[in-house]
Structure 1
Amino acid sequence: MKRALIVKLGAIGDVVMAIPAARALQAEGYAIDWVCGRAASSILQLYPWINVVEADDRALLSGKPGAIFSLWRRLLRAKYDVVATLYYDSRYRILTLPVRASRKFLLSTTKREFALLPGRHHTDEYARVLRGAKDDVRPQALAPLLPETMPESPLARGERARVVMIAAGARNAMRDDALRRWPVESYIAVARELQARGHEIVLAGGPDDRWASPYFEPLGLVDMTAKLSLVEMVGLLNSADVVLTHDTGPLHLAGITRAGIVAVFGPVDPHGRLPQRHNSVALWGGAGFACRPCYDGRDYAPCSNNLCMQQVTPGMVVGEVETLIAARREGKPLLPRVRVPKQTEPLVQIGAGE
């Protein structure tokens, strides 16, 4: 059997978007080995066809020789036909330096066949690059892959519709992307309104998201922030009728569940990132802004106030959440879509406290 090695340590969103692409390569007869960081390892282990090679990503990224030599020793045990390092930064080349393969590459900004082309979904682009297709003319729209065994929810469900909100996030081991976040005040307004309509609201997030919790304490909602492993987070998201967040790792974790998704975007084009499955909607703020999108895959334009995100109002979000709750109750799958607020659309406010 042919063998492929994928190197993608994190972030969680990028790892999840690459999983269907790895499956496409496996369908062509490849066994899949995947070098990943400790955080991503637990997610990849939900897919038994992936041989997970867990590495200390923080040690590797800091250039510690011991971590690099340890990884080399593990990789040299196998012979590979394809070695794909899914990064643009050439420094990642060192991770597979002694590993030989008939096809070995990094992502490239100059070679089209190794570039994630703008305007196309990252999952489809990862598949094109891994398969070695310079231009794949077939329509793909590869959907996220649900785990073969879905984790149990750590929080029991009642009869009320459940909305899980991730109001922080957009942070990884390398940096904090605050410009991707929808304002916490907007999340509070949505939570207050949905509670008034009788829905259960659950706040979630990782250990670095604790800063957001005090803002929600007056609402008395269930706060699972920093209380769950990533696998438990998948179980919680799967128990939701709708997951509400912005462009962050949990958005993509929600993609591998059955929950509806409402995601707020601004500096990043959602066409390349919104999970390509039913009952997913992106609200892309910044209509009419000459600078949108400003994210080029590495950096953002200088910006002191992400007005593009603020153009998406709580009223718009509540409407989309209610639409997806109704669709779930009726068993009516809705096609994924990106909604762009009109420049003349009023900034609808909800609740007396806004």
Structure 2
Amino acid sequence: EVITLNEKKLLTGSKTEKIIEVIKAWKKIGFRHFDQIAIGHADPRYQILTKLTLAIKITSFNHTIGKTWPIPSRHHTDEYVRLVNEDMNKKRPIPAFQYSPLKDNLIDTALAGSHKIITLTPGGAKNLLADDFCRRWPINNYVELAIKLINKGYIVVISGAKSDEWILPYFSGLNIVNMVGKTDLNQLLYLFSKSDFVVTHDSGPMHLAGMTKCHLIAIFGPTNPYEKIPRRKNVYFFWNHKQYSCCPCYDGKSYAKCSDNICMKEISADDILTKISSINEESADRS
């Protein structure tokens, strides 16, 4: 049973809007009996949504209900399992995620041709409460990579949510396929599944791309990729943590104050291009 709420109103709306959203949740789940409630968000405000529920057991990443923040260096998928089952000694396989996105004529038409398709997702890395610019690969690096890929004959797609339209002026005049703000989640999965490569940084789209079979190249700096990178084949990441004593600087809740994310800036477009070329060469050798 999926219950949706307006998170924008819940977290940043007026006092009245916040109360209305909480009441909506209470109407759906209030006074219902559950074997267990697992609150997968570390922000303690989410606990309010379950205040009127009756449960044998309640677990949360927030320490006030007996849990801690996700333990550093553990993969976050393991930490979510820990919320539901504390006995981590019993190894359980992670179920494969199955999705069946409908074919999309807009995407199929835009990507028609025999050239390799590379999707870049330069935005994201923010939510209603924070804009974590420090984990975004610089937009100029994405533009430089796009130009180099176009010159090599690739179809270059840029994707993102409506809120990512700020990136568009940077790609003005380039022969790219613009999908920013034009896809819902299902269409975005379909776009990634049609792409030979997806290049992005630590963000929501990275996890979505991880659900498909594309070659995923992820760029990390402030966060630890061993906690977050999708667990499947054909996933690659760049992380210059050995060069900087401040990496990683994320404690599971917030980032260190940083005005110059050099750990991201120093990963160049040529680094990514070289990786893409080597993957293509390896694939050609195998075939």
- Counterparts of 1:48-67 in structure 2, within 5 Å, are 51-62=1-12, 64-67=18-21
Q: Distance in 1 between matches of 2:78 and 2:44?
A: 23
Match in the other structure for 1:203? 158
Q: Which moved more, 1:93-102 or 1:60-69?
A: 60-69
Secondary structure of the 2:209 match is: helix
Partner amino acid, structure 1, of 2:98? L
Q: Distance in 2 between matches of 1:60 and 1:161?
A: 42
Secondary structure of the 2:206 match is: helix
**Equivalent of 1:191 in 146, 163, 171:** 146
Partner amino acid, structure 2, of 1:274? I
**Equivalent of 1:122 in 67, 76, 95:** 76
- Residue 104 (structure 2) pairs with residue 150 (structure 1): no
Q: Distance in 1 between matches of 2:186 and 2:240?
A: 31
Secondary structure of the 2:244 match is: coil
Secondary structure of the 1:297 match is: coil
Note if contact 2:201-2:219 (Cα within 8 Å) is conserved in structure 1: yes
Match in the other structure for 2:236? 281
Q: Which moved more, 1:153-162 or 1:166-175?
A: 153-162
Match in the other structure for 1:241? 196
The percentage of counterpart residues that share the same residue type is 30
Q: Which moved more, 1:59-68 or 1:115-124?
A: 59-68
Partner amino acid, structure 1, of 2:195? A
The structure with more helix, counted as a fraction of residues: 2
Q: Distance in 1 between matches of 2:219 and 2:102?
A: 26
Partner amino acid, structure 1, of 2:186? V
Match in the other structure for 2:41? 87
Quote the offset at 1:167 in angstroms.
1.1
Note if contact 1:267-1:308 (Cα within 8 Å) is conserved in structure 2: yes
Q: Distance in 2 between matches of 1:297 and 1:125?
A: 12
Quote the offset at 1:174 in angstroms.
1.6
Q: Distance in 2 between matches of 1:203 and 1:217?
A: 12
Match in the other structure for 2:270? 315
Partner amino acid, structure 2, of 1:53? I
- Counterparts of 1:139-178 in structure 2, within 5 Å, are 142=94, 145-147=97-99, 149-153=100-104, 154-156=106-108, 157-178=112-133
Partner amino acid, structure 1, of 2:29? L
- Residue 162 (structure 2) pairs with residue 212 (structure 1): no
Secondary structure of the 2:238 match is: strand
Residue-by-residue CA offset, 1:27-68 (whole Å, 9 max, x unaligned): xxxxxxxxxxxxxxxxxxxxxxxx211112222224621211
Partner amino acid, structure 2, of 1:60? L
Quote the offset at 1:142 in angstroms.
3.7
- Residue 43 (structure 2) pairs with residue 101 (structure 1): no
**Equivalent of 1:72 in 16, 26, 43:** 26
Q: 1:303 to 1:115 in 2, by over 3 A?
A: closer
**Equivalent of 1:254 in 209, 223, 243:** 209
Quote the offset at 1:243 in angstroms.
0.3
Q: 1:163 to 1:305 in 2, by over 3 A?
A: same
Quote the offset at 1:330 in angstroms.
7.0
**Equivalent of 2:257 in 302, 311, 336:** 302
Q: What is the RMSD of the two structures over their aligned residues, measured on CA atoms?
A: 2.3
Note if contact 2:59-2:66 (Cα within 8 Å) is conserved in structure 1: no
Q: 1:105 to 1:270 in 2, by over 3 A?
A: same
Secondary structure of the 1:218 match is: coil
Q: Which moved more, 1:53-62 or 1:91-100?
A: 53-62
Match in the other structure for 1:13? none
**Which consecutive aligned stretches of 4+ in structure 1 deviate over 6 angstroms post-superposition?**
329-332
Q: Distance in 1 between matches of 2:126 and 2:162?
A: 11
Q: Distance in 2 between matches of 1:151 and 1:162?
A: 19
Secondary structure of the 2:59 match is: strand
Quote the offset at 1:247 in angstroms.
0.8
Secondary structure of the 1:287 match is: helix
Q: Distance in 1 between matches of 2:62 and 2:120?
A: 36
Q: How many residues align?
A: 279
Note if contact 2:31-2:52 (Cα within 8 Å) is conserved in structure 1: no
Quote the offset at 1:317 in angstroms.
0.6
Q: Distance in 2 between matches of 1:139 and 1:313?
A: 39
Q: Distance in 2 between matches of 1:241 and 1:177?
A: 28
Q: Distance in 2 between matches of 1:226 and 1:254?
A: 17
Gapped regions of structure 1 (runs ≥ 5): 1-50, 333-354
Partner amino acid, structure 1, of 2:101? M
Gapped regions of structure 2 (runs ≥ 5): none
